[in-house]
Structure 1
Amino acid sequence: MRGGLTEARPTTPVRGTVQAATTAAAVLAALALVVSACAAGGTGARDEGPARGDAVAGAATASPSAAPTEASDRVDAVRLVREDPVVSAEVKRELKPCAGDEYPVDVSYGALTGGSGNDIVVNVLTCGDAIGVGSYVYRKRDGRYENVFKAEESPVYAELDRGALVVTKQVYEKGDPVSSPSGENVTTYRWATDRFVEEYSWHNDYSSVVGGDGSTESEGG
């Protein structure tokens, strides 16, 4: 385009004006094409980004879908459970190192109660079989964490799922080995003002799933 401008040598003011206008239009058209191409490339990258984020978010819901956690929100979960008067003595006895200083504790952070910070979900497991013996939710209030939920009917496991608390309790029938429960009861809770309220529940029969019959569901709450 610069070569075209150099070669243009108008002999009259009118022809010069027309030539300049034509050249300006060509420059503007070329710039418009360049800007359009850049914009299309940028939009494509931005559109692709959220799609990957959604895929990651979907996968994260299987294990709790938690809110971003700042370093200031992290706590010593083992100490929190040991010093909690709500936790039973039996669970505290299970809370011992399995190897070295590794404790059988699963900890998740996320938004459940709308408090001043992230809520904490703590699952205490056995060392040998990783069976849940206690599940707890701690809510931050006035700079301290208070126990607002507990479930100690083993085997039990709690997790966050899109702002809800999901508690799974495995069901054993007579003769079932520890590694093969007959089914599970799953309950979803939502925070309501000052406590968790059961929203709904269902039962999964493992033997039915194996036989192709699916799971049986019964709503509760």
Structure 2
Amino acid sequence: MELNESVVAGAIEDGYGDGVEVAADAALIVVDVQKGFAEPYWGRRNNPGAEGNIAALIDAWQASGRPVVFVRHDSVSPRSPLRPGQPGNGFQDLVEERRGKGSGPELLVTKSVNSAFYGEPDLDAWLRGAGVRQLVVVGVQTNMCAETTARMGGNLGYDVLFPLDATHTFDTTGPFGWTLTADELARATAVSLHADRFARVVRTADVLRGL
């Protein structure tokens, strides 16, 4: 299932994505790009291009010496493929083969909740200690840990960029039997982040041009 161009375009209306400027010390936050998310456990996903966009952003950040934060979800659920000790807890190859390869600062954060700001070590303290004021949040899932991290980053006063096409999620069933497709959830995340200015929803290409 593909993240349609119309979904991305609708999420960045009113000029969002135009003239993106990326700070010289902006931090890339790579959320939960783990092997377990490739398992059938999660159901049908969207945006098969997410991993390629995430890889391109990591490469660009590392080449420029900007800080990169890799976030890993250590699930406490006994059924989750992401729980520690399981193969699915590990990073996908596109992340693992890039860790430690950049010339800039790098941090590994582990967490068991949605926000990377509630992990170990303290992400906010690390970012502020480095003088970082701008974040670019990518990863999995769009409407879960990526969105929650972006929202909290906005609440903490960071300028947050959210490249929607460098995230993906899964079809989900909620209360009353309501079901939303992955693309519908991605659209909801984009509109919600945009409307309340938690983050600027952009494309990967916008960010790469702004480096």
Normalised to the residue count of structure 2, the TM-score between the two structures is: 0.23
Instruction: Say which one has the larger Rg.
Output: 1
Instruction: Say which structure is richer in strand.
Output: 1
Instruction: Say which structure is richer in helix.
Output: 2
Normalised to the residue count of structure 1, the TM-score between the two structures is: 0.22
